[in-house]
C-alpha cells in the first residue's frame, strides 16, 4: 500500500535524521563549522545566534527534496523531504523551546523524558569549547542520563517522605 510506504519512508528519515544530527553536531559543528556553533556554547547577547544558520542549512535539502519530489512525482523524494522537515520541527520544539526556553511556551515539566533530554543537553553545554564534548544527539539520549534522572526522582520522593512523615512517638 502506497500510503503505508510513504509513512515508512517519512518515519525512517526522521529516525535517520537523529543519527545525521549527531554526526553533524559531533564532527562538523564541533569541527570546521565551530565558528557558527560557538555562540551556542559561549552565549552572546541578542536573540539570534550564528548557530541558527544550521536551521537554514538543514532546511535547504528538505525544501529541494519536497520541491523536486512534488514536481517530478517522486513520492519517496517528497517523503524524505517531509521527514527532514518533521525532524527540524521536533528539534526546534525540543532544543530551542523545551531545553533553552527561547520561547516561554512550556515551563517546568516533571516528565522524566523532558527532564532527561534537558539534563543530557545541559551536560553538552557544560563544555564551553569544541573538544571533549558529550551528548551530541537530541531526541535519543544515552541511558546514563535516564539513570541520573531516575535517581534524582527517587531521592526527591525519599526526602519528601522524610519531611512529611508523622512524628514517631
Ligand atoms: Zn555543541
Ligand atoms: Zn543547546
pLDDT, position 76: 94
Q: How much distance in Å is there from the Cα of 155 to the middle of ligand 1? A: 30
Assigned domain for 79 exists: yes
Q: How much distance in Å is there from the Cα of 27 to the middle of ligand 1? A: 10
Q: How much distance in Å is there from the Cα of 134 to the middle of ligand 1? A: 9
Asked whether the predicted pLDDT for residue 169 surpasses 50, the reply is: no
pLDDT band at residue 161 using 50, 70 and 90 as cut-offs: low
Q: Could you tell me the residue range of the domain that residue 34 belongs to? A: 2-164
Global confidence as pTM: 0.78
Q: How much distance in Å is there from the Cα of 38 to the middle of ligand 1? A: 8
Q: How much distance in Å is there from the Cα of 137 to the middle of ligand 2? A: 10
Residue 40: count other Cβ atoms within 10 Å of its Cβ.
Answer: 18
The answer to whether the CB of 79 falls within 8 A of the CB of 6 is: yes
Assigned domain for 169 exists: no
- Model confidence over 7-38: pLDDT tens digits? 999 999 999 999 999 999 999 999 999 999 99
Q: How much distance in Å is there from the Cα of 44 to the middle of ligand 1? A: 15
Domain count, the chain: 1
In terms of Cα–Cα distance, which of 100, 77, 97, 78 is closest to 89? 97
Q: How much distance in Å is there from the Cα of 110 to the middle of ligand 1? A: 25
Q: Classify the phi-psi angles of 132: left when phi > 0, otherwise alpha if psi is within -120 to 50, otherwise beta.
A: left
Q: How much distance in Å is there from the Cα of 137 to the middle of ligand 1? A: 10
Assigned domain for 115 exists: yes
Amino acid at each position: 500500500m502506497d500510503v503505508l510506504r510513504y509513512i515508512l519512508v517519512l518515519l525512517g528519515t526522521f529516525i535517520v535524521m537523529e543519527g545525521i544530527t549527531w554526526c553533524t553536531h559531533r564532527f562538523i559543528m564541533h569541527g570546521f563549522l565551530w565558528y557558527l556553533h560557538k555562540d551556542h556554547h559561549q552565549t552572546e547577547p541578542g536573540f539570534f545566534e550564528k548557530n541558527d544558520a544550521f536551521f537554514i542549512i538543514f532546511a535547504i535539502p528538505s525544501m529541494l527534496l519536497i520541491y523536486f519530489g512534488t514536481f517530478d512525482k517522486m513520492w519517496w523524494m517528497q517523503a524524505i523531504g517531509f521527514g527532514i522537515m518533521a525532524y527540524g520541527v521536533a528539534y526546534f520544539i525540543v532544543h530551542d523551546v523545551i531545553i533553552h526556553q527561547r520561547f516561554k511556551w512550556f515551563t517546568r515539566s516533571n516528565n522524566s523524558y523532558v527532564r532527561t533530554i534537558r539534563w543530557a543537553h545541559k551536560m553538552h553545554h557544560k563544555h564551553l569549547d569544541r573538544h571533549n564534548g558529550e551528548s551530541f544527539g537530541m531526541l535519543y539520549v544515552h541511558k546514563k542520563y535516564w539513570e541520573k534522572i531516575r535517581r534524582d526522582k527517587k531521592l526527591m520522593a525519599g526526602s519528601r517522605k522524610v519531611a512529611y512523615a508523622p512524628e514517631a512517638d
